[in-house]
Structure 1
Amino acid sequence: MTDTTQANPGAKLVGVVHEFDVAGLAGWMSEHLPDFSGTASSLTVEQFQGGQSNPTYRVSCADGKCYILRRKPPGKLLPSAHAIDREYRLMLALSGSAVPVPKMYGLCDDPEVIGTAFYLMEYISGRILWDPALPGMSLAERKAHYAEINRVIAALHSVDYQAVGLGDFGKSGQFVERQVARWAKNYQAASEAPRIPAMDQLIEWLPKHLPPGDETSIAHGDFRLDNLMWHPTEPRVLAVLDWELSTLGHPLSDFAYLMMAWRLPADVFRGMGGEDFTALGIPTEAEFIADYCRRTNRENIPGYEYYLIFNMFRIAAILHGVWLRGLQGNASSDNALIMGRKAGQIADMAWAFARQQGDN
């Protein structure tokens, strides 16, 4: 297979930015990991650079074994923010299912051990792919990778969340309705940022056009190509990563979030809109939907366009907030203003799709 590993700042290991008590970690590992008997001096800690809201580290032992540590960031936090216990619980519940997740080694909610709560999980070495057009691959390789993406998201939405002990992992029902209200409120609260006419039109349109029926499943919340760890040479997902936004939600909304990649151009937001999918060997939007329906025993996806429009609205609302922070000078990213202006582009596209639905 062609080597398609692409470097990205989000996956780069750097010196430790957010320090913690390594001796405390070594003591905890000695107590909770039967095959570990080292000390702080036998551990090498590196932090992953990037935008993770929960600092993430690779912990290497003298015997060659490696682990991933995720922790709450230091400082005063909102009570519900950075809930690493939810990430840990979710991945632990999915172990043994058809959804590939890392092995969990333990959760420590005592902030006295290293300075904040943390969990330790398996370190998996593989590929992170960043461009959904998969440059450098053959047609057959692209087809195989997208078949695997389809398999994994269908497997996630097919998990019986009650049977795996996640019945109380979130509210059940009316997920999209609640989300529309939440993101409309967030957008309207960011009143110091420029107004986007399409957002105001979507805020009026979305509540009036909710699709009939309702479903609940485990929803990843951010299921996209670069949150998958791939086998080094095979078109096989070794682990789904970054479960920070996971909850009980509507599977079709979760699916439509992934499908935005087929509509949004690469220069707008992590997409491949406008590409010649047949020439690339990538399933068309209709083909990918048909495969998902087959895997999840659906005839079709009623309201698919609505779920797509809602997800674009949600992303536009998020980017609008980034824009505001950029204007205020307190954004965490240097390109906050650039990203913020994309909110208008995405909102305009969403409103154009909404108008195509008629009955506006």
Structure 2
Amino acid sequence: MAGPIRHPIDLRSLESYLNTHAPHIKTPLSAQQFGYGQSNPTYLLTSTPTGAQYVLRKKPPGQLLSKTAHQVEREYKVLKALSTAGGDVPAPKVYCLCEDAGVLGSAFYIMEYLNGRIFDDPSLPGVAAEARAAMWKSAITTLAKLHAVDPAANEGLRSFGRPNGFYGRQIKTLSTIEAAQAATRDVKTGKEVGKVPRFEEMMKFFSTTQPKDRSAVIHGDYKIDNLVFHPTEPYVIGILDWELSTIGHPLSDLANLLLPWQLLLPTAAGVSVMNGDIRCFLPDATPGLPTREEAISWYAEASGWKVKRSEMLWGDAFGFVRNAIIMQGIGARVARGQASSAKAEGYGSRVPAFAACAWRCIEMSEEERVKEERAGAKL
């Protein structure tokens, strides 16, 4: 998955830095850039003397739209805390963090290269049905293990985030990011990126109707293509892309992982997010894929938390809005000439579809909440 370099890096400067700060990484190095990594350019480094391989993650070049995005320093912090704690969460080892922009133009860190399988399609093509089911269950139970981590017992995570009010903080943060991205102008045409449809209306709903507050170490973008599976066995050996990790509501991660089941939701606008690299699936059409209900039950068994249907749909709705803002952000980076991924073009056009799906989940969540309240009143 690594190939030509789209964002050049100064290998001589990097090698000089490593010779002083991480001498166990033997230089000289060769470099390739991974095709994934929408937010932060990601490179495969190979040591010429030893053949050992490493992964470098750095912030994009130039002035950034948001101070809350591209936090490679945060990725390094959580990975270091998890990999040195001796727990069950499969986190790659990290070797160094450089915050001196004079070395490569922006902050970066280097971590272990995991020799495994990464799937950009959550239906896990090319995998036998039995293995496919086991891999999805491993993804679910690995998430439950992460949510079971006690930040108070981990020195590197004690000041990682606040234990309460996650979704309230998210609403405030996403509102700020959405406004900045919407106002971004294309460097070539001068046209604004534009707002997420019905954004203020949806933020009002999320502000006034929220699930019961919970607290856990969350990944922030937990999904199949951010997991590394063993080369031949059906289990997770590593979790990647931790820049959005914090102390937050575990529903956020669960909804993000289960998003592929919701991508075919009918909406009043008649739009679909099923195009390009946005993958969805019908479980019955792919042997071994669990149903959405089975996946939720696996999480409930592993975590001890039985998620209400109205809560799950609320989390789906918030996830769709969040993904709409992510798509908007990719579009903004394209407009500014800062896109990290070779696949970035066209993502901005998917914003209306994600917003429409968010609104449909809001409607469904409210319908389920009314049913649950009526059922509770009868008991």
For normalisation by structure 2, the TM-score amounts to 0.79
Residue 208 of structure 2 corresponds to which residue in structure 1?
Answer: 208
The residue type equivalent to 1:48 in the other structure is F
CA distance, structure 2, for counterparts of residue 195 and residue 16 of structure 1: 29
Out of 149, 164, 171, the residue aligned to residue 159 of structure 1 is 149
C-alpha deviation, 1:349, in angstroms: 2.1
C-alpha deviation, 1:330, in angstroms: 5.5
CA distance, structure 2, for counterparts of residue 188 and residue 200 of structure 1: 11
Residue 29 of structure 1 corresponds to which residue in structure 2?
Answer: 18
The residue type equivalent to 1:209 in the other structure is T
Corresponding position: 1:86 with 2:74: yes
Residue 69 of structure 1 corresponds to which residue in structure 2?
Answer: 56
Residue 376 of structure 2 corresponds to which residue in structure 1?
Answer: none
Q: 1:319 to 1:145 in 2, by over 3 A?
A: same
The residue type equivalent to 2:135 in the other structure is H
C-alpha deviation, 1:278, in angstroms: 7.3
* 8 Å CA contact retained: 1:309, 1:353: yes
Gaps in structure 1 of 5+ consecutive residues: 1-10
Matching of residues 188-227 of structure 1 within 5 Å: 190=182, 198-211=198-211, 213-227=212-226
The residue type equivalent to 1:105 in the other structure is Y
Gaps in structure 2 of 5+ consecutive residues: 184-191, 265-272, 371-379
Corresponding position: 1:48 with 2:34: yes
Matching of residues 240-255 of structure 1 within 5 Å: 240-255=239-254
C-alpha deviation, 1:242, in angstroms: 0.9
Corresponding position: 1:293 with 2:331: no
Corresponding position: 1:355 with 2:363: yes
Residue 168 of structure 2 corresponds to which residue in structure 1?
Answer: 177
Q: Which moved more, 1:233-242 or 1:52-61?
A: 52-61
Q: 1:162 to 1:329 in 2, by over 3 A?
A: closer
C-alpha deviation, 1:321, in angstroms: 4.9
**Identity in percent:** 36
C-alpha deviation, 1:353, in angstroms: 2.4
Residue 4 of structure 1 corresponds to which residue in structure 2?
Answer: none
Residue 319 of structure 1 corresponds to which residue in structure 2?
Answer: 327
C-alpha deviation, 1:325, in angstroms: 6.9
* 8 Å CA contact retained: 1:16, 1:45: no
Residue 340 of structure 1 corresponds to which residue in structure 2?
Answer: 348
Residue 18 of structure 1 corresponds to which residue in structure 2?
Answer: 8
Q: Which moved more, 1:245-254 or 1:182-191?
A: 182-191
Q: 1:337 to 1:229 in 2, by over 3 A?
A: closer
What SS class does the counterpart of residue 162 from structure 1 fall into? helix
CA distance, structure 2, for counterparts of residue 205 and residue 287 of structure 1: 29
CA distance, structure 2, for counterparts of residue 194 and residue 81 of structure 1: 19
What SS class does the counterpart of residue 298 from structure 1 fall into? coil
What SS class does the counterpart of residue 220 from structure 2 fall into? coil
* 8 Å CA contact retained: 1:18, 1:55: no
CA distance, structure 2, for counterparts of residue 299 and residue 117 of structure 1: 41
Q: 1:198 to 1:102 in 2, by over 3 A?
A: same
CA distance, structure 1, for counterparts of residue 291 and residue 354 of structure 2: 21
Residue 126 of structure 2 corresponds to which residue in structure 1?
Answer: 136
Deviating 4+ runs (over 6 angstroms):
333-337
CA distance, structure 1, for counterparts of residue 31 and residue 193 of structure 2: 40
Q: 1:343 to 1:64 in 2, by over 3 A?
A: same
What SS class does the counterpart of residue 303 from structure 1 fall into? helix
C-alpha deviation, 1:109, in angstroms: 2.8
For normalisation by structure 1, the TM-score amounts to 0.83
RMSD: 3.0
Q: 1:99 to 1:277 in 2, by over 3 A?
A: farther
The residue type equivalent to 2:154 in the other structure is V
C-alpha deviation, 1:299, in angstroms: 3.4
* 8 Å CA contact retained: 1:217, 1:248: yes
Q: 1:122 to 1:182 in 2, by over 3 A?
A: closer
Corresponding position: 1:119 with 2:119: no
The residue type equivalent to 1:208 in the other structure is T
CA distance, structure 2, for counterparts of residue 196 and residue 79 of structure 1: 20
Residue 258 of structure 2 corresponds to which residue in structure 1?
Answer: 259
Out of 282, 293, 313, the residue aligned to residue 289 of structure 2 is 282
Aligned residue pair count: 343
CA distance, structure 2, for counterparts of residue 16 and residue 200 of structure 1: 36
